Amino acid sequence: MSAELFHQIWVAGAMGLVGAIVFAAIGLVSGTDETTTLAPLTLLVVLLGVPAAGVFTFFLAGAVAKHMTHAVPTALLGIPGDTLATPLLQDANALRKLGVPHIALRKMISGAIVAAFVAVPLAVLFAVMLAPFGPTITKAAPWIFLAAAVLIAYFSPGRWASVALLLPFVVLIIALQTLTAKYNVKLSVSYFLGIAIGPLVADLFSVISPADRGRMKRDQPRTFQLAPDVKGWSGYFPNPLKVLDRKQTQWTLATATISSATFVFSPVAMTVVLGELVGSRIKHAYHRLTTVLAARNGVTEATYIAEALIPLIAFGLPLSPVAAGPAAPLFNAPPRFTVDAATGQTHNLHNLMNHWEFLGYGMLAVLLAAVVSYPFAMNFARRAALFVSRKVSHEAIIATFIGLIFVISVWEGQFLGLLVIMTMGLVGGLLSRILGFNTGVQFMGYYTAVLSVPALLKIFG
Amino acid sequence: MRSDSASPPRQLVEVWGDTADTRHLAWAIVIGIGISLTGFLIASRILVAHVSSPELARAYAMLAGLAGCVLSGVICAFIFQPKRDVVEGAASDPAWREEVVAQLAEEHGGLGSMDDLPPVVAREMKELEIYELFAQHDPAHATNRKAAP
C-alpha cells in the first residue's frame, strides 16, 4: 500500500516537474494562448496512460508556471505573454516607460506565487462545500450550460450579438457532427482546438485574400524596447514576501480569495474587475500601479486554479470557462476520460481522485512550479526575453502551431478532423474578430451543442 | 536597428499579434505541415505493427507528430530571422516619463499625494530614482485629487 502510494507520489512529482519546465519555457514566448498549449499537451499526457495524479500535477504545475513566466514578455517587451496577460499590459507599460520594468516584473511574479499557494486549499475547500449539490447540479447540467452560455455571451465584447450568435454557431457544430457521424467519426478535441486557434486561422485567410491583405500590411517590423534589469537581492531564490510590501501582500491574498470563489466567470473578466477594485483603494499612482500588477497577476493564478479544481472536484463536469477550455482533457479525453451527455455520468479525475489527493497533489504542483518558475523568472528574465525576441521568429511559432493543428486533427479524425478544425477555426476566428464573439463564448457554444441540445430535443423531439 | 535595404523588398504583414514576411510565412507553414504530419503518419504506420494496444500506438504516434511540430519550429527559427527591432538598454526617455506621469494624473484617482505613501514605498521610489519625478507633480495636482472613499 505504502509502496504504491510512494510510487504514485513519485510519478506525480516527475510529471509536475516536466509540466513546470515545459510551460515555464512556453510562457516566455509571447502570444502562446493557454488553451492552445495546455489543452493538447495535457491531452497527450492523458492518452499516454499517465496515472491520474500525474495528469493532474502536469496540468496544474504547467498552468501555474506559465502564469509566472508570461509576465516576462509582458513587462520587458510590452507584448502580452498570453490571453490572461492582456489586462496587465497597460500598467506594465506605464512602469516600463518610467524606466522600471523590472519592478513590474517582480511584483507580478511575486503576486502570482503568493496567490497560487493560497488558491489551492481555498479551491478544494469551496469544492467540498459545493460537493453535496453535485448530484442536483449534474442532473441540471444541460440547463446550467445553456444559462451559462447566454450569460457569458452577454458579457463578451459582442453583447447581444454574441447571445444571438449562439444559435447559428450551435447549428454549425451540430451540422458538422452530423456530417462526421455519417462516416462513424466522433470528434471533440478538433472542435476545441479549432476554436482556440481560430484567430490564427482567420488571420492566415486574410493574408491570402487580396481584399483583406491591405489591413494586415506593415511597412516596418515592430520595434520593442528592452529595458535594463537591476538585481535587488542576493542569492538565487528571492523571498516573494519581501518583494511585495505588506499592503500588496494583503491585496493579493484578498483578491486571490475572491477569485477562488467565483469560479464560473471568465478569468480575464475577473482579472480586470478585481484589478479595478484594488486600484480604487490605493491613493498614490505609483503604489497603485505596482499593487494592481501584483494583485492582477495573482488573480490570473488563483482563478485558473479554482476554475479547474472546483468543477473537477465537486461535479466532474466542465462548468467553468477554464474547465471547458484549457483544462478540458482533465474532464473529457475519450476513450480514457468521458462525460456522458445524456446521463451526466462521468469517468474522469473526479472519480479517480479524492479530496485529500486533490489537495496534496495540488500543493505539490504549485510547489514544483514555484521552485522552477519563480527563481528562473526573477533571475534570468531579461536574458530570456532577449533570446526569444532575437532568435525565435514569428514564422517559427506559426509553423509549430500549424503543425500542431494538423497532427491533432488528423490524429483524431483523419481528413474529417482536418475539415472540422479548419471550419471551426475560420468561422470562430472571424466571428471573434468582427463581432466580438470571443473564444470563451465559443467553448460554451460547443457545450451547449453537446449537452443542452440533446436535452432540448428530448423534450420537444 | 539593422537595415535590410539590400535584400529584395519584404512583404511584411501582422499576423496573430506580430510581424512576419509573407514568403517566409508560406514556407514556414509548408515546413510545419510537412515535418509534423510526415512524422505522425510514419510513426503510426510503424507503431501499429510493434505496439501491443492500438490506443497506445496512436498516443505515441501523436507524440511523434508533436515532436515534429517542435522540430519544424526549431528549423524555421534557424532559417527565418525575426522581423522585430529590439532596442536594448538606454534608460527610458525623459519625455516618456513625463508623458506617463501626465497620463496617470488624468486617470481615475489621479496621482495622489506623496503624503499617502507608506514609508516602504517611498524608500523603494527613492532607490529607483522616481521619487522626485512624482514629488514635482504633487502640488499641481493635489487640488484636483478626489477624496478617497
**Over the stretch A171-224, which tens digit does the pLDDT of each residue have?**
999 999 999 999 998 888 788 788 878 888 999 999 999 999 999 898 888 777
pLDDT at B96: 77
**In chain B, which residues have their Cβ closer than 8 Å to the Cβ of A245?**
118, 120-121, 124
Task: Give the pLDDT band (50/70/90) at residue A251.
Answer: very high
Confidence band for B1, pLDDT divided at 50, 70 and 90:
very low
Nearest to B63 among A44, A100, A219 (CB): A44
- B147 contact A CB<8A: no
Q: B13: which 3 cell numbers?
A: 504583414
For residue B143, is pLDDT > 50? Answer: no
Reduce the DSSP state of residue A359 to 3 states and report it: helix
> Which among A225-229, A278-282, A335-339, B125-129 has the top mean pLDDT?
A278-282
Q: What is the pLDDT of residues B81-100, one digit of tens each?
A: 998 887 776 555 677 788 88
- Residue range A1-7: mean pLDDT, rounded: 83
Return mean pLDDT, chain A: 88
Tell me whether residues A395 and B61 touch, CB distance under 8 A. Answer: no
What percent of chain B has a predicted confidence (pLDDT) above 70? 83
Asked which of A98-107, A360-369, B25-34, B139-148 is least confident by mean pLDDT, the reply is: B139-148
Residues of B in contact with A398 (CB under 8 A): 15-16, 20, 25, 28-29, 32
Which residues in chain A are closer than 8 Å to B16, comparing Cβ atoms?
Answer: 31, 199-200, 203, 394, 398
**Considering only CB atoms, which chain A residues are within 8 Å of B121?**
245, 284, 286-287, 290
Q: DSSP assignment, residue A331?
A: H
Q: Say whether A397 and B17 touch across the interface (CB within 8 A).
A: no
Task: State how far the Cα of A229 lies from the Cα of B89, in Å rounded to an integer.
Answer: 9
Average pLDDT over residues A369-390: 86
Residue B26: pLDDT band with limits 50, 70, 90: very high
Interface test with A, best of B66, B72, B74, B146 (most A CBs within 10 A): B66
Per-residue pLDDT averaged across A82-107, rounded?
A: 85
pLDDT of residue A412: 86
Tens digits of residue pLDDT in A392-422:
898 998 998 899 889 989 988 899 999 999 9
Exposure string over A322-353, b if 16+ CB within 10 A, otherwise e: bbbbbbbbbbbbeebbebebeebebbbbbeeb
- What average pLDDT does range A372-401 have in this prediction? 86
Say what percent of chain A tops pLDDT 70: 97
Residue B148 has pLDDT above 60, yes or no: no
pLDDT band at B8 (very low <50, low <70, confident <90, very high): low
Residue B35 and residue A407: Cα distance in Å, rounded? 10
What confidence score (pLDDT) does residue B139 get?
A: 63
Q: In this complex, do B32 and A200 lie within 8 Å of one another by their Cβ atoms?
A: no
pTM for this model (two decimals) = 0.81
In this structure, are residues A442 and A193 in contact, taking their beta carbons and an 8 Å threshold? no
Cell numbers given for A337: 476520460
pLDDT class of B149 with cuts at 50, 70, 90: very low
More confident residue, A64 or A345: A64
Q: Is B83 on the interface with A (CB under 8 A)?
A: yes
Confidence (pLDDT) at B5 = 44
What are the residues facing B19 on neighbouring strands? Answer: B14
Residues in B touching A226 (Cβ below 8 Å): 86-89
Asked whether the ipTM of the predicted complex exceeds the cut of 0.90, the reply is no
- Nearest-by-CA chain B residue for A289: B104
User: Does the pLDDT value for residue B114 go beyond 50?
Assistant: yes
Q: Tell me if A287 and B118 make a contact (CB, 8 A cut-off).
A: yes
- Cell 495540488 -> residue: A362
Which grid coordinates are listed for A122? 481555498
Between B55 and A272, the higher pLDDT residue: A272
d(CA A219, CA A202): 21
Most confident of A414-423, B14-23, B106-115: A414-423
B42 inside 8 A of chain A by CB: no
pLDDT given for residue B145 in this prediction: 44
The three three-digit cell numbers of residue A112, written as one number: 502570482
Q: What is the pLDDT of residue A133?
A: 85
Contact across the interface for A200 and B16, Cβ inside 8 Å = yes
Among A287, A67, A377, A173, residue whose Cα is nearest residue B122: A287
A1 pLDDT more than 70: no
Inter-chain contact A285–B134, Cβ cutoff 8 Å?
A: yes
Query: Most B CBs within 10 Å: which of A394, A412, A432, as the mutation test of the B interface?
Result: A394
Going from N- to C-terminal start, the domains of chain B cover 12-79, 94-142
Cell triple for residue A83?
490571453
**In chain A, which residues have their Cβ closer than 8 Å to the Cβ of B33?**
402-403, 406
